[in-house]
Amino acid sequence: MLLTACGGGAPIPAEDLLLRIETGASDVSLGAAFPLTVVRVWKSDLVPQAWSDEALAPLRVRLIDMQRREQGDHTEERRRYHGYAFATGVVQVPAPEFRAVPKRGGLERRVRGNALELRVTSALDPADPGDVELPGGALTSPFPWAIAATTAALLLAIAALAIRRRHHRPVREPVVEEVEPAPRPDEIALRRIEELRARPAGDHAEEFVAMLRAYLAERFDMRTRELTSPELAAIPTDSAQRELLGALLRDYDLVLYARHEPSPAAGARMLDAAAEFVRRSA
């Protein structure tokens, strides 16, 4: 992910919320990659929801890069994809929804992007699909049935001899090795949280956030390295878990970016909240 906090480039639309899907063509080939871009714009006093590629279904997409820039009090996020369609005919992508909440509280804002309609054609001409090819080429001579029958009889005799010898061998008990099961993601996270209690929050904040990203990636089977704190907080499906995670990330953002050093008691409460979130989401 490429983050650019400076201005530059084309002016960002002065919209509170904007979602636009751009593609370079309306006619695409079945299973062939075509360019697809998702542009989101939001005002700086809003917290956007995490983007999900599922909003582009029934298309399949592969992320090429993501750029984010700011101009004035607006932020623009631009995601470039390779898109793929796997059904011929007219394929429609419903208009996706973009939601955000004010940072200082208030009603949720919503806006819909544009729908897509693509005409998907096959690379093969249905009127002239070509000759049917047999695997390994066409047969040029009659099949040698006599040789095949002799070979099969010989193989059966060898197999019967091997089975007879095997029956005369002493039966050995299989050796079973006990393998200790690998620790679960929540067990790893809880153990690491307890280890961090010996250090103040200012010293372990970066390690804690890295541990939390690793736990979320394992628990929810998704990439978390490129996500911002608000996007991370939107991952859990349970609202109570989202609220607990969001408060925890805000506390550690203050430590990381505002150089806030909580008291030992406050730091302990932050780690208590982290352990409670891990136990609830496990």
Whether the pLDDT of residue 124 is over 70: the answer is no
Q: What percentage of the chain reaches a pLDDT higher than 90? A: 45
Q: Which of 18, 118, 114, 99 has its CA nearest to residue 58?
A: 118
How high is the pLDDT of residue 125? 52
Closest CA to 220 of 212, 228, 209: 212
Residue type, 1: M
| Six-digit token string for 124 | 């093969």
State the pLDDT at residue 144. 63
CA 51 to CA 227: how far, in whole Å? 10
Q: Hey, CA dihedral for 81, 87, 88, 93, is it positive or negative?
A: negative
pLDDT (tens digit per residue) in 71-103: 999 999 999 999 999 888 999 999 999 999 998
The token pair that represents 216 in the structure block:
């979320």
Give whole-number Cα distances, 189 to 186, 208, 256, in Å: 5, 9, 20
CB contact at 8 A, 58 and 93: yes
Percent of the chain residues past pLDDT 70, beyond the cut: 83
Residue 271 pLDDT exceeds 70: yes
Taking only the tens place, the pLDDT of each residue in 196-217 is: 999 998 898 899 999 999 998 8
Average pLDDT of 124-131?
Answer: 50
The domain 2-121 having CATH identifier 2.60.40: the answer here is yes
Least confident span in 74-78, 236-240, 272-276? 236-240
- Look at residue 136 and tell me whether its pLDDT is greater than 50: no
User: What pLDDT is stored for residue 260 in this prediction?
Assistant: 87
Residue 130 pLDDT grade (very low, low, confident, very high; cuts 50, 70, 90): very low
pLDDT tens-digit series, residues 49-71: 999 999 999 999 999 999 999 99
3-class SS letters over 203-246? HHHHHHHHHHHHHHHHHHCCCCCCCCHHHHHCCCCCHHHHHHHH
Mean pLDDT check: name the lowest of 27-31, 140-144, 256-260: 140-144
Signed CA dihedral, 59, 60, 63, 64: sign only: negative
| Length of the chain in terms of residues written | 282
Q: 10 Å Cβ neighbour count for 95?
A: 14
Instruction: Report pTM.
Output: 0.44
Tokens of 99: 């939601």
Q: Enter the tokens of residue 233.
A: 């907080």
> Beta-strand (E) ranges in 7-136?
17-23, 27-29, 34-43, 46-48, 60-71, 74-84, 89-93, 97-102, 109-112, 116-121
